[in-house]
Every structure is written in structure tokens, then in C-alpha cells.
Amino acid sequence: MVQQTFESNNSGNMQQPPEMISSKDLLYLSDMMSWNLGVIKKANFLAQDCKLPEIKQAAEQVYQMHERHYQLLLNYAKNNSNQMVH
């Protein structure tokens, strides 16, 4: 039986990321960053082009949320790249 090296709650979700990340995990992080970047670009374009205030505000909120997610992923990847498991 393999011992898990991360803490999880009853639903199986991680409470904290693992201390070491694999190269496969790094690829997942890269994918998530790409997806967030795509949404950032689309939401920013919509917010700049939209004339309806409610839609513009919603697009700006989407933009800001995904920008925060992107920055969190980028910072995590930068801070843990030296702890990568091959």
C-alpha cells in the first residue's frame, strides 16, 4: 500500500499542495496557466469592447479572478521548481 504524502479531508481533496511536484504535475500546472491566460485575454477583450455596464463589470471580475489564479500558479511553480521530482 502506498502511503500518501499529503493531507486530505474526507472528500479526498488536498488541504495543501505536496512538498515535491513531479514533472507531470508541472505539466498540469502549465495547462492550468494556459487555460487561465486564455480566459484572461478573452475577458479583457470583452470588458474593453462591451458597452453594457453589467456585462463589462462581470467580464472585469472574470478577468481579475483568472489573473489572480494565474499569478498563484506562476508563483507556486517558480517557488517549487527546484523541488521537482523527475
> 36-86, pLDDT tens digit by residue?
999 999 999 999 999 999 999 999 999 999 999 999 988 887 887 666 555
List, in sequence order, the alpha helices (H) in 1-86: 23-49, 53-80
> Is residue 66 classed exposed, middle or buried when 0-12, 13-18 and 19+ CB atoms within 10 A define those classes?
buried
Q: Are 42 and 83 in contact (CB under 8 A)?
A: no
| pLDDT value of residue 17 | 67
CA atoms within 13 A on the CB side of 47: 14
Domain boundaries, the chain: 21-85
